[in-house]
Each structure stands twice: as C-alpha cells, then as structure tokens.
Amino acid sequence: MKIKINWGWGIVIALATFMIFIGSLVFQLVFNKKYDHQLVSENYYKDELLFQVEVNKLENAKKLVENIIIQNKDGKLLVIFPKDLNFSEISGSISFQYVMDEQFDFEQKIELTSNIFEVDPLKFKKGTWNLKVDWKYQKAAYLFKEKIHY
C-alpha cells in the first residue's frame, strides 16, 4: 500500500510540527532552571520608591570636577576616587551584581588608605557585572553606576 500525501495533509503536518516546536520551547523556558526568571532585586517595589534619592545622588556626582574611574589592571579591579577629595572623609559601599545569577552578588564597605580602592579578584566570575558605588563625602551623597565586563 502506497501512502499518498496531498497538500492538505502537508499543511496539517507542518502546523502540527510547528505547534510541537513552540510547545517544547515554552516548556523549556518555563520549567528549566537554566532560564530562571527572577527580578534583579528581591525588594523591587521598595527600591522603586527610593528612585528619586538615587537620581539626586547621580546629579551630585555629575557636578564633581572628576568622577570615579574604574580600571582593570593586572587582573585587579581598581575603583579610583577623585584626587582632589580627602580620601579619609570618603565612606560608603560598593555593590556588585552579577547579571547572570544573583548568588554571586556581593557588597564591600569602602575603606580607603589612598584614593584607590582595590577589589579582590577572587570574588569575580567571568561575565558582565553591574557596579554601584554609593558614597558620601562631607555630608554630600554621591552615586556612581557602571556596567563592567570582567
């Protein structure tokens, strides 16, 4: 017996194959832990309310003569604060968010012995990081944000 497929059956087979493909793709994206759909922050809505404070800090940073400089030197990440500021009066924290997985996120308190802050390279995983320097100098608050590739 010879099986004959006409154009009608061809369309049905093509649509069924396409539907199976889309169904398996959706299944993979929803149930596979590799494609985890998490918010960047656990407290997203609370963070959104503090947005204006963050904008004010960014504006303060723009008014500086020299802003923070990020350098990757010999495998070490250096956060260089403005040279015209007294480093002993700078305080705050630096937070690192790994774009691919929040379990690698970490934060460090700023403790300076010069205008250069060195970050431990062993804490980094290769990839893209969001760097956020939230710092104060003489009662004024500043914020510096940058995306880095380590």
Q: Which pLDDT tens digits describe the chain residue by residue (150 residues)?
A: 677 888 998 999 999 999 999 999 998 888 877 766 565 667 777 777 788 888 889 999 998 888 899 988 887 888 999 888 888 899 999 999 988 878 888 899 988 888 898 887 777 788 888 999 999 998 899 999 999 887
Helix (H) or strand (E) holding 125: none
pTM confidence score: 0.66
Long-range contact set of residues 36-40: C-beta below 8 Å, sequence gap at least 24 = 38/102, 40/97, 40/102
**CATH of 44-149 given 3.40.50.300, 3.40.50.2300, 2.60.40.10, 3.40.640.10:** 2.60.40.10
Q: Name the residue among 118, 148, 139, 115 with its Cα closest to residue 57.
A: 139
- How do the domains of the chain map onto residue ranges? 1-37, 44-149
